[in-house]
Structure 1
Amino acid sequence: MTSPSARATPAAAGQRGPADHERRAQIVEAADQHFRHYGYHKTTVADLAKAIGLSTAYIYKFFNSKQAIGEAICARCLSEITAQLRAIVTEPVSAADRLRRFHPTLARAGAALFFEERRLHDIVVTAVTENWHAGTTYEEELREMVRTLVVEGREAGEFERETPLDEVCLAIGETLWPFAHPLMLEDKLDRMEAATAALAGLVLRALRP
């Protein structure tokens, strides 16, 4: 199966030119630092150009808008979360053990990323609420990983098989989303550990054959 991240092309995210161009990486890195300091909404492409020492026109050779630059940064940030979750998915232990750790790992990784770097919280909120490509790809990746765990659990006889697979994955995804969305997660930080443990336990009890 091709992962959502592999399907995310430069054009889909508003990028132009070669995906691995050195200047593109330089622009993204400088923009990342600029957004962390000043915030996404208070920064213009002209501000970025001045900070990097390039012309605005040159930046537009690689990105068609400020949002496209934000997309690249947001995708990189969210990939830090999905990388931790993918590491769990590929571990050689039972599907139940892996799924039990999925909720708390998602919440902890999000809390560390969104709230220790407050400016990054703002850009991720924008990505999710405005349906940026980076935000929708993030959702797709979470759904894909959940589906993998459920399928493997069913094949191993750990999970029931009567409920339609799509229905099961949708329901589990709904229990994850409050910990994946930065605004929802912010409201749960003080009870995050207890909430994720309780939900993971509830999901696993529902999946028993």
Structure 2
Amino acid sequence: MPPPSQILTAERILEATEEVLRRHGPAKATVVDVARALGVSHGSVYRHFGTKAALREAVTKRWLDRATGALAAVADATDRDPETRLRDWLAALFEAKRRKAGDDPELFATYSVLTDENGGVVGEHIAELTGQLTRILQEGAGSGVFAVDDPATSARALFQATARFHDPGYAREWKQPGVEREFEAVVELLLRGLRA
């Protein structure tokens, strides 16, 4: 039996897939390339992911989920008041997206292509993020901090209103001078509209 570090798992396949995507890009990366990187047959990869599309969907979900956990921690930090949590959550989302775009621009460009291919995964990701916003707004409404009748609708509106600071289509703008001031101005305007 191979040592645990050599056992082929879905996680090892996803790690190798990310590396192959970084090296070859989404147009040229193949399941055979992933298998070669792992030293296994492509059939072994297909036992974990039935199709190339399923593998690409899984690696996209994994990439999107990396930010979701950190944001959930901010959304659920009940030691902070709802307004502070909302401000911190929006800032954490902006910073996570900027970091992804700036730290590894090639991989970010690759994932921009993959997210276009995997609308269902992206929809689930957005639903999870707006769910986190909804929880913050519900608590804020319950404590009298925010004046919102429908926290879920307000959460979706907040998400859309801040799209310039988290939608990958705006990534080039995230490096521009003054973007932090613009972000803060938008957040302050939105908070002013939410306050009771």
Q: TM-score, normalised by structure 1?
A: 0.81
Per-residue deviation at 1:94? 0.5
1:132–1:119 Cα change, 3 Å: farther
Aligned position for 1:31:
17
- Give the AA of the match of 1:139: I
Aligned position for 2:104:
117
Aligned position for 2:33:
47
> Any stretches of 5+ residues in structure 1 without a counterpart?
1-20
1:165-204 map, 5 Å: 165-190=151-176, 191-204=178-191
> Any stretches of 5+ residues in structure 2 without a counterpart?
1-6
1:48–1:131 Cα change, 3 Å: closer
Residue 208 (structure 1) aligned with residue 192 (structure 2): no
Check whether the contact 1:150–1:159 (CA below 8 A) recurs between aligned residues. yes
1:64-75 map, 5 Å: 64-75=50-61
Aligned-pair Cα RMSD in Å: 2.0
Per-residue deviation at 1:160? 0.8
1:49–1:146 Cα change, 3 Å: same
- Distance, in Å, in 1 between the alignment partners of 2:175 and 2:43 is 42
Check whether the contact 2:82–2:140 (CA below 8 A) recurs between aligned residues. yes
Aligned position for 2:68:
82
Aligned position for 1:160:
147
Per-residue deviation at 1:127? 3.4
Q: Which moved more, 1:44-53 or 1:199-208?
A: 44-53
Check whether the contact 2:26–2:113 (CA below 8 A) recurs between aligned residues. no
Aligned position for 1:134:
121
Per-residue deviation at 1:189? 2.8
- Distance, in Å, in 1 between the alignment partners of 2:102 and 2:168 is 9
- Give the AA of the match of 1:78: L
Q: What is the percentage of aligned positions where both structures have the same residue?
A: 26
- Give the AA of the match of 1:118: P
How many residues of Structure 1 are paired with residues of Structure 2 in the alignment?
188
Check whether the contact 1:159–1:208 (CA below 8 A) recurs between aligned residues. yes
Q: TM-score, normalised by structure 2?
A: 0.85
CA displacement, residues 29-52 of structure 1 (integer Å, 9 cap, x when unaligned):
211222122222221112222222
Q: 1:145 aligns with which of 129, 132, 157?
A: 132
Aligned position for 2:82:
95
